[in-house]
Amino acid sequence: MRTILVLMDTLRKDYLSAYNPTTNVQTPNLDAFAKDSLTFDNHYIGSTPCMPARRDLMTGRLNFLERSWGPIEPFDITLPKVLAEQSVFSHLTTDHTHYFRLGGEGYINQFDTWDFQRGQEGDPWHSIMRDPEWMPEQYHGRLRKQYQANRELWCDDEDAYPTPRTFASACDWLTTNKGEQDFFLQVEVFDPHEPFDVPKKYMDLYQKDYAGPFFETPVYGKVDVPEEAEEYVRNRYSALVTMTDVHFGRLIDKLKALDMYEDTQIIVTSDHGYFLGDRELFGKNYMHNFNELAAIPLFVKHPQRKKAGKRTSELTQNIDVMPTVLDTFGIAVPAEVQGVSWQPIFEEEPRNKPFALYGAHGITVNITDGKYTYFRSPNEQNQPLFEYAGIPTTIRHYLGEADPASIQTGRFLTRTDYPVFKVPIKRAAILDGLPDVSEYTKDSLLFDLEQDPYQQSPIHNAELEEKYKTFLKEQLVILEAPKEQLERLSLNN
Q: Which helix (H) or strand (E) holds 269?
A: strand 264-269
Rounded CA-CA distance 2/264 in Å is 5
Q: Final residue of a domain: which of 319, 354, 389?
A: 354
Same domain, 169 and 318: yes
Mean pLDDT, residues 143-160? 95
Peptide bond before residue 195 is cis, with ω within 30 degrees of 0? yes
Q: Final residue of a domain: which of 311, 337, 354?
A: 354
Considering the domain boundaries, does residue 493 fall inside one?
Answer: no
Same domain, 366 and 396: yes
Percent of the chain beyond pLDDT 70? 100
Same domain, 349 and 388: no
CA distances from 431 to 123, 286, 360, 404 (A): 21, 7, 10, 20
Q: Beta strands 2-8 and 264-269: pairing type?
A: parallel
Q: Which helix (H) or strand (E) holds 344?
A: helix 343-346
Rounded CA-CA distance 211/369 in Å is 46
Same domain, 80 and 228: yes
Same domain, 346 and 363: no
Q: What is the pLDDT of residue 396?
A: 87
Rounded CA-CA distance 386/408 in Å is 10
Considering the domain boundaries, does residue 188 fall inside one?
Answer: yes
Q: Which helix (H) or strand (E) holds 5?
A: strand 2-8
Rounded CA-CA distance 32/140 in Å is 36
Same domain, 40 and 76: yes
Q: What is the pLDDT of residue 156?
A: 84
Q: Which residues of 214-252 are buried (b: 16+ CB within 10 A; e: fewer)?
A: bbbbbebbebebeeebbbbbbbbbbbbbbbbbbbbbebb
Residues 6 or more apart whose CB falls under 8 angstroms from that of 199 comprise: 156, 158, 161, 243
* Structural domain boundaries, residue 46: 2-354
Peptide bond before residue 384 is cis, with ω within 30 degrees of 0? yes
Same domain, 346 and 302: yes
Same domain, 90 and 208: yes
Same domain, 14 and 66: yes
Among the listed residues 331, 355, 348, the one whose alpha carbon sits nearest the alpha carbon of residue 469: 355
Per-residue pLDDT tens over the stretch 374-413: 999 999 999 999 999 999 999 989 999 999 999 999 999 9
- Look up the CATH number of the domain holding residue 263: 3.40.720.10
Rounded CA-CA distance 86/183 in Å is 11
Rounded CA-CA distance 111/123 in Å is 22
Between vectors from CA 343 to CA 339 and to CA 346, what angle results, nearest 5°? 145
Q: What is the pLDDT of residue 433?
A: 86
Considering the domain boundaries, does residue 283 fall inside one?
Answer: yes
Per-residue pLDDT tens over the stretch 424-450: 999 999 998 899 999 999 999 999 999
Per-residue pLDDT tens over the stretch 273-295: 999 999 999 999 999 999 999 99
pTM greater than 0.85 (yes/no): yes
Among the listed residues 428, 418, 342, the one whose alpha carbon sits nearest the alpha carbon of residue 385: 428
Same domain, 138 and 25: yes
CB contact at 8 A, 197 and 18: no
Same domain, 320 and 216: yes
- pLDDT grade, residue 493 (50/70/90)? confident
Q: What is the pLDDT of residue 455?
A: 98
Among the listed residues 397, 374, 381, the one whose alpha carbon sits nearest the alpha carbon of residue 448: 374
Per-residue pLDDT tens over the stretch 174-190: 999 999 999 999 999 99
* Number of compact structural domains in the chain: 2
Same domain, 291 and 433: no
Q: Final residue of a domain: which of 331, 354, 377?
A: 354
Per-residue pLDDT tens over the stretch 67-126: 999 999 999 999 999 999 999 999 999 999 999 999 999 999 999 999 999 999 999 999
Q: Beta strands 311-317 and 298-301: pairing type?
A: unpaired
Considering the domain boundaries, does residue 146 fall inside one?
Answer: yes
Rounded CA-CA distance 455/14 in Å is 14
Dihedrals φ, ψ of 212, to 5°? -85, -175
- Partnered with residue 387 across adjacent β-strands are 423
Rounded CA-CA distance 265/88 in Å is 14
